Structure 1
Amino acid sequence: MKKIATLTLMVLMLGLTACNTVSGMGKDIKKGGEAIEKAASK
């Protein structure tokens, strides 16, 4: 039973970390796109 609880906790932690990573990557891509738009409009 203890192994299942530990495994479940590890999977949940990995899931949360992955969500934050994807969110951060999305913000970086958005900022990059905005910079390209700004440079193109000059």
Structure 2
Amino acid sequence: MRKFLTLTLIGGSLALAACNTVRGAAQDLNSAANCTENTINGQNCR
């Protein structure tokens, strides 16, 4: 039972870390897309 609980907690922690990483990557891509769109429209990147 103790091993199961330990593995479950470790697995849950890894899953949460992965979600944050994916969310951060999505924000980076969104920022790059906005910058590209602004450049195409003759505006500055922010």
TM-score calculated relative to the size of structure 1: 0.96
| Alpha-carbon distance between aligned partners in 2 of 1:17 and 1:24, rounded to the nearest angstrom | 11
Give unpaired runs (5+ residues) of structure 2: none
Give unpaired runs (5+ residues) of structure 1: none
Q: How many residue pairs are counted as aligned between the two chains? A: 42
Correspondence for 1:30: 30
**Larger helix fraction of residues:** 1
Moved over 6 A (4+): none
Correspondence for 1:5: 5
Offset of residue 20 of structure 1: 0.3
Offset of residue 18 of structure 1: 0.3
Correspondence for 2:41: 41
Structure with the larger RCO, 1 or 2 (CA within 8 Å, 6+ apart): 2
| Alpha-carbon distance between aligned partners in 2 of 1:20 and 1:28, rounded to the nearest angstrom | 12
The percent identity for this pair of structures is: 38
TM-score calculated relative to the size of structure 2: 0.88
